[in-house]
């Protein structure tokens, strides 16, 4: 039987790898869509949140006497390269970026919900609080994307028609 705290540490490492991937994706995407200043600015803001989320996760991992998984972090960063490369050859890059971000936010949201439940089960209230804070930020970004995907698409279509 795997103890809740052991599973929690594994999942914290997974979430840390996700945030490593998010930093890579957000940094790249924010530079690629500068002609859409609202989205670019919101992504820059969320990049700061993402970096703080990564730090929070590192603190949680350290409290469990663990280290981050270098292998998971490298794989996450490398897997972020695929969308970047595919974005170089598509004309509708900004729409694809919006869709990828929206999808990725929900992966992170699910991860934080799992971590909150696991931290509660393990009796780790500090990790629970840290993950709740991360979840609030991810929910806010997902909500912003949800509200802005349609206007972003319309702006792209208008630019393409011009």
Place of tokens 């089960």: 121
**Lowest mean pLDDT, pick from 72-81, 108-117, 132-141:** 72-81
Structure tokens at 9: 């540490």
Q: Cα(55)–Cα(36) distance, rounded to whole angstroms?
A: 29
Return the H-helix or E-strand segment holding 126.
Answer: helix 125-161
pLDDT in tens, 22-43: 998 888 887 778 889 999 899 9
Q: How many domains does the chain have?
A: 1
- Residue 92 phi/psi, 5° resolution? -95, 40
Share of the chain above pLDDT 70, in %: 85
Residue 13 makes CB contacts below 8 A (sequence gap 6+) with 61, 66, 68, 69, 72
CATH number at residue 12: 1.20.1260.10
Q: Are 118 and 8 in contact (CB under 8 A)?
A: yes
Q: E strand or H helix at 86, and its extent?
A: helix 70-87
* pLDDT > 60? residue 111: yes
Domain span holding position 23:
4-161
């Amino acid at each position: 039987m795997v103890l809740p705290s052991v599973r929690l540490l594994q999942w914290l490492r997974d979430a840390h790898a996700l945030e490593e991937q998010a930093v890579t994706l957000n940094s790249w995407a924010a530079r690629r869509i500068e002609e859409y200043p609202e989205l670019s600015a919101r992504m820059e803001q969320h990049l700061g949140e993402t970096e703080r989320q990564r730090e929070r996760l590192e603190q949680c991992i350290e409290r469990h006497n663990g280290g981050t998984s270098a292998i998971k972090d490298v794989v996450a960063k490398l897997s972020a390269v695929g969308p970047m490369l595919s974005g170089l050859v598509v004309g509708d890059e900004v729409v694809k970026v919006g869709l990828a971000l929206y999808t990725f936010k929900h992966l992170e949201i699910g991860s934080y919900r799992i971590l909150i439940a696991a931290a509660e089960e393990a009796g780790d209230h500090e990790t629970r609080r840290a993950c709740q804070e991360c979840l609030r930020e991810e929910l806010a970004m997902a909500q912003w994307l949800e509200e802005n995907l349609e206007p972003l698409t319309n702006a792209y279509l208008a630019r393409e028609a011009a």
